[in-house]
Amino acid sequence: MVDTILMITCLLSLVIWFVQEKKARPQLQQKLNALIAGGQQLPVEQLQTDTNPPWNQWLFKFTTAIWIGWAASVILLKDGDFAFILVMLTFLSGVITGLDKLFFAGARKVYIESKAVADYLQNYSREQRESLTQYFAADMVIGEYAKSFFPILAFVLVLRSFVIEPFQIPSGSMMPTLQVGDYILVNKYTYGLRLPVVGTKIVEVDQPKRGDAVVFFPPHQDIYFIKRVIGLPGDQVTYKNKVLSVNGKVMEQTLLAELPPLNPQMRMFTENLQAVEHLAQSALHRYTVTPTTNQQGDFSITVKPGHYWVMGDNRDNSADSRSWGQVPEERLVGKAFAIWLHWPSIFDFPSLSRLGTIQ
């Protein structure tokens, strides 16, 4: 819904900008020409107000209103894909920038540098001339914002889509490796370059390895998850008594602590996934439910070709492949490689205490 509203808003903004340049701009220049012909000199503020068609001012107010409406829909509906938003804003600003350079910018420059206009502006002080020159030669407000933001949006889009993207950890499913409020960096090119939004891979680079902390879209919904790769395509993964085995080889665990000390409820340990040794934790109690009703039970599965079996490091408190199945390769986003900030909530102070790489 929010993305649809954004598409409509972008289309309307593009049309309004085009109408302003094709219709409002000539009217503005005609009014200035009439003042020049009549030898009438107005104060700077009045000159700008009188030459700008009233309907053009209303168009700008309308444009402002629809963008505020879209922003309100994001807040109220709590929906919207940031990648799609970034693509649409970059596309809108890029189209306006390109069309303006091809069709309108040159004509504005020729007009403001014409002898009649230049001679008329000589009647004003240097400071006033600069202000009026900028006013009559500049883009309409929509175009001005578009051209200002386009380089920034394009840079962020390329960086976020193909290089590095930041994420916030919203849950405790990867504890103790990742805490709620950790801000992490994800390598977007490790598993191949993909087009933003559509996710089509355009460059093959590498494949996930066992032990990687990966960001992905689960099979059942289009929101970001982060879990650890346990099983690669073709692997036989077994989980028995809270111990993993892959292809018949036990993934060794080393107990670090049982917490809290006076009444232990949880065990913290390191787990060796052959390529990666990482922290993990699980409850001390045995299973109280069957594997068919909860993901905490024993299981044995074979990973399908082109799929990955993922689990959270917080083994008894993680919605992962045990809940919704194997992750298709095309749903992968990237590899989490570093924590750069810890900020649990707006009521806490940001901290660099957890700064470091992710194992």
Annotated catalytic sites, by residue? Answer: 173, 227
CA 140 to CA 85: how far, in whole Å? 23
Long-range residue pairs from 262-271, CB within 8 A, at least 24 positions apart, any chain: 268/176, 271/244
CB atoms within 10 A of CB 57: 12
Strand partners, 250: 245
DSSP class per residue in 99-123: HIIIIIHHHHHHHHTSHHHHHHHTT
Q: Are strands 249-250 and 243-246 parallel, antiparallel or unpaired?
A: antiparallel
* 3-state SS class at 308: strand
**Which distant-in-sequence residues (6+ apart) come within 8 Å of 320 by Cβ?**
173, 225, 227, 295, 310, 311, 312
How buried is 337 (Cβ within 10 angstroms: 0-12 exposed, 13-18 middle, 19+ buried)? middle
Furthest-apart CA pair in the chain: how many Å? 94
* 3-state SS class at 36: helix
Minimal CA–CA distance to 254: which of 266, 277, 271? Answer: 271
Minimal CA–CA distance to 357: which of 251, 278, 255, 282? Answer: 278
Minimal CA–CA distance to 9: which of 95, 74, 69, 87? Answer: 69
